[in-house]
Amino acid sequence: MQEITQTVTTIPIQHYVLLCTLLFVIGVAGVLIKRNALVIFMSIEIMLNSINLLLVAFSVYHNDPAGQVFVFFVMIVAAAEVAVGLALVVMVYRHTHSIDIDFLNRLKW
């Protein structure tokens, strides 16, 4: 256990930056590529989680607990966002019998 929890001394922070950037970019690509509203929500969750990981990594490397409290608030906002978003998805499905977001283009032009 002593060995496991010494990540800070062995892994450089640049690796965390790279990993979180990769996860964030995967989320961005998902939002741009997919047409299914549910999968777009999941991509947004991936993006939020990558930011959480980066915040925790910097908080630990700086010995500052405020970063972890921020992650807590990010999780609160994400939970509220998912609840409202899924209710919206259900409502859209009731009206159009599909959750394809390309049908919802009436406000586009």
Partner 1 sequence: MLTEYLFYFFSVLAVFASIMVLMSRKPIHSVLYLTLAFLAIAGHFILLNAQFIAIVNVIVYAGAIMVLFLFTVMLLNLNLAVEQKKTAIIRITAVLAAGLLFLTITGASKKMDLTFKQEEVLTQIGLVKNLGKILFRDFRLPFEVSGILFLSAMVGTVMLGKKTGD
Near partner 1 in 11-40, by CB under 8 A: 11, 13-15, 17-19, 21-30, 32-36, 38-39
With binding defined as CB under 8 A, does residue 5 bind partner 1? yes
Judged by beta carbon, residue 102 or residue 107, the one nearer partner 1 is 102
Name, in order, each residue with C-beta under 8 angstroms of 47's C-beta and a sequence gap of 6 or more: 23, 24, 27, 28
Does residue 86 interact with partner 1 by CB under 8 A? yes
Under DSSP, the state recorded for 1 is -
Q: How many residues bind partner 1 (CB under 8 A)?
A: 76
- Minimal distance, residue 89 CB to partner 1, in Å: 6
Residue 51 touching partner 1 (CB under 8 A):
no
CB of 38 to partner 1, least distance (A): 5
